[in-house]
A = this chain, B = another copy of it.
Amino acid sequence: MSTHHPGSQKDQHALNAYISLLRCTETVTSDTCRHLAAEKLTVGQFGTLEALYHLGPLCQRDIGKKLLKTGGNVTTVVGNLEKRALVERRRMPEDRRYYSVALTETGQELIARIMPRHIENITTRLAVLSLQEQDELRRLCRKLGLAS
C-alpha cells in the first residue's frame, strides 16, 4: 500500500458512497417493513415466509443461503415460526439430514395477505427515483455486490 494516501480523493469517494448506501438501506428497510409489526413478524421471519412462498419448500441450508444468515439463526427463526404454526418441518426420507420446511395453510394465508402491502410499500418508496434511476441503482448494486 505504498501508493495509498489515507484521506485521499479515492477514499473520500468510496466512504461517501458507502455511508450513503448504508443509511439508505437502513431507512428504506425500516420504512417498508414497519407494517410487519402489526402481524408480530420480524424481518427475518417475513423473509423466511416470503422465500417459502415464492420458491416452495426449502431445506434450512437453502433458507440460510437466501437470507445470508447462519445455520444457527435459521434454526431459531424457523423454530419460532413453527411455534406459531406458520411453517412445518418434515424429515426427508431420502436423506435424513435434511428437513423440508414448508408453509402451513395458516402461513400461506398470512404471507399472501401481507405481500401486496409489502410490495406496494417498496414500489411507493422507490418511486422517488425514476425507473431509469432505479435500473441504474440496481446495476451499480449488482456490480458492487457480486464483487465478493
Contact = CB atoms under 8 A, between A and B. Distances in A.
Interface of A: 1, 4, 6, 9-11, 13-18, 20-32, 68, 116, 119-120, 122-123, 125-129, 131, 133-138, 140-145, 147-148
Please classify the interface of chain A as helix (H, G, I), strand (E, B), loop, or mixed, using the class held by over half of its residues.
helix
Contacts of A17: 126, 129, 134-135, 137-138, 141
28 contacts: A1-B120, A4-B120, A11-B119, A13-B131, A14-B122, A14-B123, A14-B127, A17-B134, A17-B141, A18-B32, A20-B142, A20-B145, A21-B25, A21-B137, A22-B29, A24-B141, A24-B142, A24-B145, A26-B68, A27-B68, A28-B145, A30-B68, A31-B148, A125-B144, A125-B147, A128-B143, A137-B137, A137-B144
Contacts of A147: 125, 128
Nearest to A26: B68
A10 B125 contact: no
